[in-house]
Structure formats: structure tokens, C-alpha cells
Amino acid sequence: MNVTVDCKELAAALAIVKRGLPSGKTTLDILRSVRLDATADGLCLSTTNLESGWRYHLTADVAECGSAVVTHAALANAAKGKAKGARIQLECADGAKVTTATMGWTTWTLDGFPVADYPVMPTAAEPEDKPNAPAPVTFAIATDALRTAVGQTAYAASRDDVNRPVLTCVHLEGEQGVDALRLHSSDGFRMTATNCLLSRDPDGRIAALVPAALLAKVVATAKSDHVEVYVAAERSLIEFRTARREC
């Protein structure tokens, strides 16, 4: 892998995908890393805590396609606080655990992990590679409408219910041909519900439980006008896509 990217954009992308890192202690040190995938389309950064994952796509000059897994904190430290217009070059040989970051006369050696050891983050946007596998249900919603609806429901979800984790979620419901999404949540003592209009009707039935904390992160980072949503109920997956971001 050999890719050059703007330092400011890289630092901003790392701040976004940091939301996919484990929030507490973990015995899997690799989960505190970020996966870098350089392709002809640019550079993709991915993180996961095995329950949720984040992807961010960056425009980059790719001299050689490839992948690397780098400790998030180390790469963020190399990218932060740089002058506007500064660019950083990231290089990693195939199969190597060390990535070299170069900017001008400065070079960082960043420790990492083998790419093959990094957990694969599934996507709900693509059907399973199985015969007769159902396609995911898709719909679109205005970002402002989703932000308002989440603000009206997420607060009522339980913060931390070990015995009933379902109460930490917001329930999303929708039907094909109906231009509204219903959201409701409860912590066992109170319940709140709201409807919000969709900018594109779902192409099937929607019934999904999404952690309220994750929904709050999605609307907090969404900058585009609309959010594309993919629901693969049979695999217990839901994917939100905004400009350059997937979670």
C-alpha cells in the first residue's frame, strides 16, 4: 500500500471512525486499530468493536493499492495539528505489521497488526452470497428529519440494562408503500414514539432494533442532506450511509 492524503482530512476521518472503537477495556488489542484500504477510488478507513462498525472514504492519491491495520492512536497523533494543505504518505508492504508515515522530513513508524487478523465488518447493503438470499430492504430519509426523530425517542431508551438490553434500543418500523418511519423506545417506565417522513419509501417491510447510542452517533456525524438505510433483518444488520460515511 502506498497512498498520500491530506493531513486535515485524515485527522477528521480518524475522529469520525473513532466512534467504532471499543468504549471500555478489551482483551482484543487489534480492535483499537483502524483498517486502511487503498483502492483506485481512494482510501477507506474502517473500525469495529464487533457490535458496530464505521467506514469513512477519503479522496487520496493512490500509488499502490493495498491494506494495512494501524493503531488508531498512533496514526491520529501523526496526522493531528498539521498546517493546512500538508499531506502525509502512508506505506505498508503486503503482509507487514508496520506502516510508515512520511511528511516532509519527518517519518513515523506505526505499529499495527496483520490485515488477515482484523475482523471482517459485514455490510447490509449487499445480499449474502447464498442461493435465494433475500435482498436488503432500503429507504432514504432526510438527515434533519432523522435527527429530530432520534432526539424525540433515544432519550427514553435505557442507558444500561444488562438484563434487558432490548430496552437500550430504538424500534424502527416501516412498510412498503408507506412514506413514514415510526420510531419508539422505552426504558420500562416510560415510552415515547414518533413518525417521520421518508424521502424514499422502503421497498419492503422494516422492523429493526437499533441501539439508541448508535443512532445518536449517526445523526451527530451525518453532514449530507439524506441518509441511505439498508436493513438485512435475517442477518440482524442495519447500515446507515451518508456522504463518505457508513456505520
pLDDT tens, residue by residue, 94-146: 888 889 998 888 889 998 999 999 998 888 777 666 656 678 899 999 999 99
38 pLDDT above the threshold of 90: yes
Query: Which amino acid makes up residue 209?
Result: L
pLDDT tens, residue by residue, 163-214: 888 999 999 999 998 999 999 999 989 999 999 999 999 988 999 999 999 9
**Contact of 28 with 113, CB cutoff 8 Å:** no
Whole-prediction pTM: 0.87
pLDDT of the residue at 122: 80
Other beta carbons less than 10 A from residue 43's beta carbon: 23
244 pLDDT above the threshold of 80: no
84 pLDDT above the threshold of 90: no
The mean pLDDT of 16-39, rounded to a whole number, is 91
pLDDT of the residue at 6: 93
Phi, psi (rounded to 5 degrees) for 228 = -90, 135
Least confident of 13-17, 29-33, 81-85, 143-147: 81-85
222 pLDDT above the threshold of 90: no
The mean pLDDT of 51-73, rounded to a whole number, is 93
Query: Which amino acid makes up residue 201?
Result: D
Cell 496483520 found at: 114
For 247, residues 6+ apart whose C-beta sits below 8 A from its C-beta are 19, 20, 52, 53, 54, 55, 214, 217, 218, 239, 240
Average pLDDT, the chain: 89
Q: How far is residue 92's CA from residue 84's CA, in Å, rounded to a whole number? A: 25
245 pLDDT above the threshold of 70: no
pLDDT of the residue at 163: 80
